[in-house]
Structure 1
Amino acid sequence: MASIRQEIQVAAPAEKIWDAVRDVGEIHRRLVPGFVTDCKLDGDARIVTFGNGMVAREVIVDLDDAARRAVWSASGGRLTHHNASLQVFAEDAAHSRLVWIADLLPHEMKPAIAGMIAEGLKAMKRTLENPGI
């Protein structure tokens, strides 16, 4: 199984970031606009349309407010397994670190998914550092 771990520093308080992350049906507006162009809730899942046209069904596995950690599992496309988490860590009152971890199969998809995660984290940084959200 391929594992990917990426992180990014964001100049925003952890509480503000977590509020956007845990709003799982609004990620296309509040967290990663452009990277995700649409998101619709469907029971315990969300249907996510990415900027590259890919569509995925992501089951929300857990939203842990104490740990500021969201976990989801995706299905569809060429992936036979995908489980991911995004966790928000407070660095100080005005800065945070976001850690995105994904485990997936087949192994050959690792470079493509790692690239998408990097894009997603950059979109989060742009959005979350904007005082308008």
Structure 2
Amino acid sequence: MATLQQEILTSAPSDQVWDAIRDIGALHTRLVPGFVLDTRLEPGARVVTFFNSVTAREIIVTLDEERRRLVWGAESSFLKHYNGSVQVFERGGLTCVVWTADFLPDEAAATVGPLMEAGAKAMKVALDRLIEKA
């Protein structure tokens, strides 16, 4: 199973960062605008439309307020398995978001990796905007 990880550092307050992440229906407006174009909630899941017109149904596995951790699984035509998680930490006066993806087949890393990099860049821009509002 392949594992990829992105870390996003921001000066935005961790509570505001977690609030944006835990708002599972607002990926396209609060967390990764431009990378995600639309998010539609369904019972226990969200349907996400990405910038490249790909749509994925993401099952929400855990929304852990205490650990500030969100976990989801995704259904995809090119992945046998996908499990993603995002967790918020405080690190040296900054807020760190760790995004981890575990998936099969391993060869999908060539596609998933650049997508995660683009998503992390969009997330960094959105989170840094929270500094202006703090």
> Could you say which TM-score interval applies, normalised by the shorter chain?
over 0.9
Cα deviation for residue 91 of structure 1 reads 2.2
Calculate the TM-score normalised by the size of structure 1.
0.94
> More helix per residue: 1 or 2?
2
What code does the residue aligned with 1:110 have? A
C-alpha distance in 1 between matches for 2:113 and 2:76: 17
In 2, are the aligned partners of 1:18 and 1:68 still within 8 Å (CA)? yes
Cross-structure match for 1:78 = 78
C-alpha distance in 2 between matches for 1:18 and 1:114: 23
Deviation string 1:3-30 (CA, Å, 9 cap, x unpaired) is: 1122121121110000000000011101
CA RMSD of aligned residues (A): 1.3
C-alpha distance in 2 between matches for 1:107 and 1:91: 31
Cross-structure match for 2:68 = 68
* Ranges in structure 2 where 5+ consecutive residues have no aligned partner: none
Cross-structure match for 1:105 = 104
What code does the residue aligned with 1:100 have? W
Displaced runs of 4+ in structure 1, greater than 2 A?
A: none
| Identity %, equivalent residues | 46
In 2, are the aligned partners of 1:13 and 1:92 still within 8 Å (CA)? no
What SS is found at the alignment partner of 2:79? coil
What SS is found at the alignment partner of 1:129? helix
What SS is found at the alignment partner of 2:109? helix
